[in-house]
Amino acid sequence: MSSRPLSPDLARLARGIGAGERAVIARAITLIESGRADHQKAARRLVQNLLPRTGNAVRVGITGAPGVGKSTTIDALGTRLTAQGHKVAVLAVDPSSARTGGSILADKTRMARLAADPNAFVRPSPASGTLGGVAAKTRESMLICEAAGYDVVLVETIGTGQSETAVADMTDFFLVLMLPGAGDELQGLKKGVVELADMIAVNKADGDNLKRAKAAAAEYHAALHILTPRSPSWTPPVVTYSALTGDGIGQLWATILDHRERVAKAGELAARRREQQVKWMWAMLEDRVFARLKSDAALKSKLPRLEAAVAEGRMSPAVAVDEIAAALGV
């Protein structure tokens, strides 16, 4: 596929991306996000063509409950990194935006500095499609940003299990943000997200919150202690910081780099990315097969009857699946 030359339009896009032209990057991502079959085909060719130029960024996933300070953190961290000479891309997976038409990144006021930073590229979540589809598009957008020379990609998501898994599956480091608790820290510490976390960071450790933040961190630390770490070369630390004052933001990044060095040395970074790539293949295949299945004419005419029969308890789900499979010839 990559050996076939790109059409003049796509070649122009690829050149513009290589030159780091923001307007072209934005256009390429719009192509990726488009629902039109011809656009999707073109986007696939473009990404395939750019693939050799991808993979060089530090990919960080960031999650946390609404109001925890994700945007403020990304603004503070991102600005610090661009000041050090990094190029920072900020992307998002927000399954709720598909319903509301809004987006966690639509509110750029909390990322005012980064949004205006010439060395940062901030893109809201794709606003339509299934979670799997949205996440797949964000992942391809990440590849475009890498090909454009962005060496740090921050992917924001909100605290819902599925979107967190999707973002952890496209990043090298998964950062879970927490609030200084009001005694309910451990309830907020869902088992699923802890298993994904490479670090837990308690934000808003400033002013009156400082003591509570430290106490929350101690509780999380104790809770993490009883879990088996995901990686033999990394035990997820628990830290406190303040996105508002910037206290501890430098330490967040230092920890991300420390993690990187260790897992790279152990061969785990490459292994994680290999596994992720294959996982995405299956996830995208599943999405595609499902879409195809749902639009199958023979099946469409059968489904209402089967669904009703299953709902009313006249037919077992297993027998209904048998009939569906027969209709599809599988």
Ligand X SMILES: Nc1nc2c(ncn2[C@@H]2O[C@H](COP(=O)(O)OP(=O)(O)OP(=O)(O)O)[C@@H](O)[C@H]2O)c(=O)[nH]1
Residues that bind Mg ion (CB under 5 A): 70-71, 104
Q: What values do phi and psi take at 90, rounded to 5?
A: -120, 120
Which residues, in sequence order, are CB contacts of 67 under 8 Å at separation 6+? 179
- Residue 204's binding partner among ligand X, Mg ion, none (Cβ under 5 to 8 angstroms by kind) is ligand X
Crossing angle (nearest 10°) for helices 297-311 and 268-294: 90
DSSP 3-state of 230: coil
| Cβ nearer to ligand X, comparing 78 with 140 | 78
| Cβ nearer to ligand X, comparing 67 with 229 | 67
What one-character DSSP code corresponds to residue 129? Answer: S
- Residue 219's binding partner among Mg ion, ligand X, none (Cβ under 5 to 8 angstroms by kind) is none
- Structure-derived torsion over alpha carbons of residues 192, 161, 158, 187, reported in degrees to the nearest 10: -50
- Residue 259's binding partner among ligand X, Mg ion, none (Cβ under 5 to 8 angstroms by kind) is none
* Residue listed under structure tokens 């991306």: 17
Nearest distance in Å: CB 68, Mg ion: 9
CB 99 within 8 A of CB 160: no
Nearest distance in Å: CB 70, Mg ion: 5
| Cβ nearer to ligand X, comparing 32 with 104 | 104
| Cβ nearer to ligand X, comparing 82 with 242 | 242
Nearest distance in Å: CB 132, Mg ion: 23
C-alpha distance from residue 295 to each of 93, 137, 292 (Å): 26, 21, 5
- Residue 64's binding partner among Mg ion, ligand X, none (Cβ under 5 to 8 angstroms by kind) is ligand X
| Cβ nearer to ligand X, comparing 159 with 236 | 159
- Residue 69's binding partner among ligand X, Mg ion, none (Cβ under 5 to 8 angstroms by kind) is ligand X
Residue 279: both structure tokens together: 């996982």
Nearest distance in Å: CB 110, ligand X: 4
Nearest distance in Å: CB 282, ligand X: 30
| Cβ nearer to Mg ion, comparing 7 with 100 | 100
Residues near ligand X, by CB under 6 A? 64, 66-72, 104, 110, 158, 203-204, 206, 242-244
C-alpha distance from residue 183 to each of 63, 69, 87, 218 (Å): 21, 19, 39, 12
Residue closest to ligand X when measured from CB atoms: 69
Residue closest to Mg ion when measured from CB atoms: 71
| Cβ nearer to Mg ion, comparing 54 with 96 | 96
Nearest distance in Å: CB 223, Mg ion: 26
- Residue 82's binding partner among ligand X, Mg ion, none (Cβ under 5 to 8 angstroms by kind) is none
d(CA 302, CA 195): 41
Alpha helices in the chain (DSSP H): 8-18, 22-33, 37-50, 70-83, 97-100, 112-115, 131-147, 161-168, 185-188, 191-196, 210-225, 249-265, 268-294, 297-311, 317-328
Which of 52, 73, 48, 57 shows the shortest CA–CA distance to 172? 57
| Cβ nearer to ligand X, comparing 64 with 133 | 64
Nearest distance in Å: CB 177, ligand X: 7
Nearest distance in Å: CB 224, Mg ion: 25
Q: CA 308: distance to chain centroid?
A: 37
